[in-house]
Amino acid sequence: MDTSKILGAEHIGIPCKDIEETIAFYEKLGFKLYWRSPSGNNVAFLTLGDMVIETYESASIVGTNGAVDHIAMRVKDIESLYMQAVEEGYEIVTDGLVTLPFLENGVKFFKFYGPNREILELLERL
């Protein structure tokens, strides 16, 4: 494999049961609707910075663990984001904030479920 041709992440695919609910959820997290299929197959692309999510209606795999392991987003001020997530009723997957000695100086993160049981991770590099 010629790794010099691999430029980075393109998108993360997330099957959903309700495209409108999924778009609204990610827009609440700051994503912007980038493109949506004009008719028929209910596909949408949402962006936040250089992150792109492709979501599509697919009843056959929605809600099954492992359809998407997790999507990590780099953040700042992780403590206030954690408190907001708790206040807004997000279902937290981790046991509170987690600190690990990853990357240069460690990371602090938490994970929570999205509307299709996908796991989202907010991570701050320390």
pLDDT value of position 1 = 42
**More confident of the two residues 70 and 81:** 81
Query: Model confidence at 91, in pLDDT bands (50, 70, 90)?
Result: very high
18-40 per-position pLDDT tens digit = 899 999 999 999 999 988 887 66
Rounded to whole angstroms, the Cα distance separating 119 from 113 reads: 5
pTM of this structure: 0.69
Measure the CA angle with vertex 79, ends 114 and 92; round to 5°. Answer: 30
Would you call 46 exposed, middle or buried from its count of C-beta atoms within 10 A (0-12, 13-18, 19+)? buried
User: Domain 3-125 belongs to what topology?
Assistant: 2,3-Dihydroxybiphenyl 1,2-Dioxygenase; domain 1 (3.10.180)
- Average pLDDT of the segment spanning 49-57: 88
